[in-house]
Amino acid sequence: MTDTNAATTNTHEAKATFGAGCFWGVEAAYRQIPGVLSTAAGYLGGTMKNPTYYDVCTGRTGHAEVVQVTYDPSRVTYDDLLTVFWENHDPTTLNRQGPDVGTQYRSAIFYHDDAQKAAAESSKEEREKAGRYRRPIVTEITPTTEFYMAEDYHQKYLEKRGLSSCHI
């Protein structure tokens, strides 16, 4: 299943897409934010059409596990969503988050338009200059490509199990 790549679907909705390791915890973090209308776990940034979880886990499709966030920009800003992104993973580990290793777990911001690209680049630069991290930030900032919805059992995975987070 694919989804639109337009950043703004109407005047009260916009999309943002983030890869920050395993999508279960990332999705749970975004679902807590007032103004987030929905989230979807999925795959983005690869070459294979309609990949499955097992395809992506091989590391050969080029996809990242991502969360696509649909939000109301009058209630939550893209900058706010970027803050959640930076605060919920380690952007200095290349192709790894905690015990999860592989390109599918890379730190990535997939922008939907030029405004998101500029905001993401500025946000990354601010964090690099702040010196918060001992290592360089390796987060990629790249245009959104076709989004593929992950299998149903991955959607709201932690919520279905009565959990609110799976932080490292």
Q: What is the pLDDT of residues 102-137, one digit of tens each?
A: 899 999 999 999 999 999 999 999 999 998 888 999
* Residue 161 belongs to some domain of the structure: no
Whole-model pTM? 0.87
Q: Give the pLDDT score at 7.
A: 55
Report residue 150's pLDDT band, with 50, 70 and 90 as the boundaries. confident
> Are 20 and 97 a contacting pair, CB within 8 Å?
yes
* Residue 82 belongs to some domain of the structure: yes
- Taking Cα atoms as reference points, which of 118, 126, 105 lies closest to residue 78? 118
Choice among 20, 22, 29, 67 that is catalytic: 22
29: domain CATH number?
Answer: 3.30.1060.10
Domain that holds residue 145: 2-153
Number of domains, the chain: 1
* Residue 67 belongs to some domain of the structure: yes
Residue whose structure tokens are 């920050």 = 20
* Residue 168 belongs to some domain of the structure: no
Q: Does the structure show a pLDDT above 80 at 30?
A: yes
> Are 53 and 154 a contacting pair, CB within 8 Å?
yes
* Residue 160 belongs to some domain of the structure: no
* Residue 122 belongs to some domain of the structure: yes
166 part of the active site: no
* Residue 124 belongs to some domain of the structure: yes
> Are 24 and 154 a contacting pair, CB within 8 Å?
yes
* Residue 18 belongs to some domain of the structure: yes
